[in-house]
Homo-oligomer: A and B are copies of this chain.
């Protein structure tokens, strides 16, 4: 019993979790370049990390490296895919068919990560029934009916910030386990957990935020602070 946990190595720290998708991305690239083995030092170089960090990180997945040789890229990639749930075929819906929503639906963003987009919703009558990337936009009012008939794992929030909180609560009540939030609202997992259906196991949806505006401001902050240093240097 305990062995099964041990086999997977130590639990993943927050920071390691953040780096996992990057590892996945780089390993995929390596496979495309037909590089089948790599040392911690080389991988670190490509990713802007230290060799030590890479070894520490990869060790969390039960030491798939080999002394004197390095890591088997294919094996590592498979392992990562498994942990990241790429093979789970998670099912997602998009809530809000505005500009951002349509952009998200258009690319292969979802499919390339193993997520299937199974529905697009909007509340605007002018949009409902129209096609977006070959999919009909459903009436937001039909969310409950849809979720009763179809398994939905993830909801993508690309609607107006003012509607975000209420919608997130509604989604939580529907038992949707993951919310990918593109609005400016900070959705609290503990608040949403209160809406979780009582018959469902364990509690509440996880929230992943993409604050685009914050990211832009971080860039501006960097420009701003480098600007300040510049005159001092002359």
Interface residues of A (CB under 8 A from B): 12, 17-18, 20-22, 24-25, 46-48, 83-86, 88, 90, 99-100, 102-103, 106-107, 109-110, 112-115, 153-154, 177-180, 184, 186, 188, 201-202, 206, 208, 210-226, 229-230, 233-234
Which residues of chain B come closer than 8 Å to A112, judged between CB atoms? 213
Determine whether the beta carbon of B184 is less than 8 Å from that of A206: no
Determine whether the beta carbon of B218 is less than 8 Å from that of A18: yes
Determine whether the beta carbon of A114 is less than 8 Å from that of B180: no
> With A21-B218, A25-B211 given, can you name 14 additional A-B contacts, CB distance below 8 Å?
A20-B217, A22-B214, A25-B214, A84-B217, A85-B221, A86-B217, A88-B220, A90-B223, A153-B223, A177-B226, A180-B219, A201-B233, A206-B223, A208-B222
Determine whether the beta carbon of B178 is less than 8 Å from that of A85: no
Given contacts A202-B226, A224-B83, A224-B84, contact A184 B25 (CB under 8 A): yes
Which residues of chain B come closer than 8 Å to A86, judged between CB atoms? 217, 220
Q: How many copies does the complex hold?
A: 2
Bound together, the chains give a CA A22 to CA B213 distance in angstroms of 10
Which residues of chain B come closer than 8 Å to A211, judged between CB atoms? 21-22, 25
Which residues of chain B come closer than 8 Å to A178, judged between CB atoms? 219-220, 222-223
Given contacts A99-B106, A178-B223, contact A25 B213 (CB under 8 A): yes
Q: Enumerate the 7 nearest inter-chain pairs by beta-carbon distance, A residue then B residue, closest first.
A: A85-B224, A21-B214, A208-B219, A103-B103, A21-B217, A99-B103, A99-B106
Chain B: minimal CB distance from A117 (Å): 11
Taking chain A's interface residues, is the majority helix, strand, or loop, or is none over half, making it mixed? helix
Which residues of chain B come closer than 8 Å to A17, judged between CB atoms? 218, 221-222
Given contacts A88-B224, A186-B48, contact A109 B213 (CB under 8 A): yes
Given contacts A221-B84, A223-B90, A226-B206, contact A216 B110 (CB under 8 A): yes
Determine whether the beta carbon of B201 is less than 8 Å from that of A230: yes
Which residues of chain B come closer than 8 Å to A233, judged between CB atoms? 201-202
Given contacts A25-B184, A217-B21, A224-B85, contact A234 B110 (CB under 8 A): no
